[in-house]
Structure 1
Amino acid sequence: MDHYSRIQLAIEHLEQHLQEPFNIRDASAAASFSAFHFQRLFQAITGFTVLEYVRRRRLTEAAATLRNTAQGVLEIALSYGYQSQEAFTRAFDAHFGITPARYRKQEEKEHWTEKQMQKTIDFNEYRSKLGTEFHMNPPHMVTLEPIRIIGYEYQTNLNNEQHYAEIPGFYHDFGSQQKFMNIPERIRPDMAYGVAAHFQEDGAFSFIIGEESVGSDDSLEPGYTCLDIPGGLYAVFTTEGSEQDVRKMIYGSWLPASKYERREGPDFEVTDVWKSTPERLDMKIYIPLK
């Protein structure tokens, strides 16, 4: 079963449980993905997060219930996961531009809300777009030995694409504050590693910037950590343009269309600091595969 069919299974699970507490673990399990990987694939393909999709779907179904039934606003609010009528009213007004009470009284309710309504996603539609939207040089495949990285650990999040906004600043901090000088026994000081690790179900993760080292982690400075990157098969992508666009292409187009599965383990990127300029990074992105 391909990535799109598997993600569709997760969508079906979410639809069946819209009126229950949101549980990313159960939804991702329906697709046989880890919670973090499911969120990343979903966001790369659709452009928004799983949580945002669920929020839009709940508001859309709540609007239909307002229109088609005589249920009270509080009852509807509670059934779609809001703790109070006030919280539901604020969310409904922010999304549709009208309160639930006023919406219910409107004689014509379709034309002005149609664009805000979130229909159930069909990932077959996304699959059909691959031929026209996939523009990327193919990766080359390498088999690596395990690599030990020691680096400084920053915290970020997938939600609202927070990581894309923050990671350039992490690199600037790492270089300008010369944090690389606290890495013991560096063996390739011309190569800076950026490693996504320690994934959480809510989209939070660590981004570790460091270098290869044969040093011990027994006496690292505060904020530093040691991470062993597993050996194995990797797809290696060379960045052309923005890293954000490349990663969206990898997870939104290349990986779902490929014959490969992403295996457990961190993504990482390697920047040749001597060949890079502020205008153009010499960077390669490594994705673990099986």
Structure 2
Amino acid sequence: MDWLDRMNRVLDYIEMNLEGEIDYKQIAQMANCSEYHFSRMFSSISGVLLSEYIRRRKLTLAGFDIQKSDDRIIDIAVKYGYDSADSFSRAFQKLHGIKPSEARQNGVHLKAYPKISFQISIKGDTEMEYRIEHLDFELRLIGKSKLVKTEKAFRMIPSLWSGAKKDGLMEKLKDLSWENPKCKLEGILGVCGKEAAITDDEFAYFMGVRYDGEPPNDLEILTIPPSSWAVFPNIVEAWKRLYTEWVPTSGYELANLPCIECYYGPGHKPRHELWVPVIPK
């Protein structure tokens, strides 16, 4: 399948560049998605952050090199992208539990993390609930956006929501979100960028709600054109299974619009949903 081929080509690229510079933008382009979405997709599927996977592979090969060669430790450190013996030693010891210099001793234990590969696992015992929503009108959202560094998005976005609770933005959005319901997308929304292809070093993360009235002066407006959406209950679970189980076999592909995480009010079932923009293949 095209999706699996792209993902495994990415892994091949990483493997061939462990001794050099790995370009995260190029990785995302090879996977045909944004840096942020690829990082999220990778961690959801593999259970490990992309940066952590690359670090483990580099230090696995470094361990092999130390045991098989007489090369200087500093030369091996530089080979795998570390600019000092100290930084390499700390990373090596964190992964392997011993110092690089100790790895040459007879009988020591090291850890080897092999190259991973992506496959579709067919499971018939667990259904994946979804529905298709066709919104034939423009979504007009109001809220606030913050710049997020792409490579740090996983850490920065939760902190943005924590800040929204403290500064009153969350309460303001709640007060606005249930006025004049127009569609099922009525809740607190997290929108990543303005299009799927986020290739810059940073992007705007929008926290808002759907609202048709005149916005308060301190809130921004974001519009999303009419589109079809695949909607999944349970955001965390949906992210884990979206790319491995649903997209490859659904007959749909992702549209060039942002995914939306929707958090609903008290008493709503489910409590949250992932809205994914799609188009038929």
| TM-score, normalising length: structure 2 | 0.81
Which amino acid in the other structure matches residue 64 of structure 1? F
Residues 1:281 and 1:122: Cα distance change in structure 2 (over 3 Å): closer
Deviation, structure 1 residue 39: 1.5
Aligned partner letter, 2:140 = R
* Structure 2 CA distance for partners of 1:281 and 1:142, relative to 1, 3 Å: closer
Q: Which AA in structure 2 matches 1:194?
A: L
Q: Which residue of 1 aligns with 2:115?
A: 120
Instruction: Show the counterpart of 1:255.
Output: 247
Secondary structure of the residue aligned to 2:78 is helix
Corresponding residue of 1:18: 18
* 2:134 partner letter: T
Q: Taking structure 1 as the reference length, what is the TM-score of the superposition?
A: 0.78
Q: Distance in 2 between matches of 1:167 and 1:101?
A: 42
Partner-residue secondary structure (3-state), 2:116: coil
Q: Deviations over 1:111-164 (max 9, x none)?
A: x32xx321111113xx2x3426x7343311122132010013356678695478
Q: Deviations over 1:183-211 (max 9, x none)?
A: 79x64499323132225666876241323
Mark the CA change 1:180 to 1:43 in structure 2 (over 3 Å): closer, same or farther.
same
Identify the residue that residue 100 of structure 1 maps to in structure 2.
100
**Equivalent residue runs for 1:42-121 within 5 Å:** 42-104=42-104, 106-109=105-108, 112-113=109-110, 116-121=111-116
Partners of 2:54 and 2:83 in 1: CA distance: 16
Change in Cα spacing, 1:81 to 1:204, as seen in structure 2 (3 Å) is farther
How many angstroms apart in 1 are the aligned matches of 2:202 and 2:67? 34
TM-superposed CA distance for 1:90, in Å, is 0.7
Q: How many corresponding residue pairs?
A: 270
Asked if residue 210 in structure 1 is aligned to residue 209 in structure 2, the reply is: yes
Corresponding residue number in structure 1 for 2:129: 138
Is 2:167 aligned against 1:178?
Answer: no
How much does 1:249 deviate? 2.5
Deviations 1:222-251 (A, max 9, x none): xx3321123222101233xxx322332224
Question: What is the CA distance between 1:172 and its match in structure 2?
Answer: 4.6
* More displaced stretch, 160-169 vs 68-77: 160-169
The CA deviation string for residues 240-271 of structure 1, in whole angstroms up to 9 with x for no partner, is xxx32233222443224433221221111344
> Are the structure 2 counterparts of residues 117 and 140 from structure 1 closer, same or farther at C-alpha, using a change threshold of 3 Å?
same
Q: Percent identity?
A: 23
Provide the rounded CA distance (Å) in 1 between the counterparts of 2:94 and 2:14.
23
Structure-2 separation of matches of 1:131 and 1:26: 32
Helix, strand or coil at the partner of 2:251: coil
Unaligned runs of 5+ in 1: none
Query: Does structure 1 retain, via aligned residues, the 8 Å contact 2:74–2:84?
Result: yes
1:220 alignment counterpart: 217
Describe the SS at the equivalent of 2:98: coil
- What is the rounded CA distance, in whole Å, between the counterparts of 2:239 and 2:152 in structure 1? 15
2:187 aligns to what SS in structure 1? Answer: strand
Matched, 1:288 2:281: no
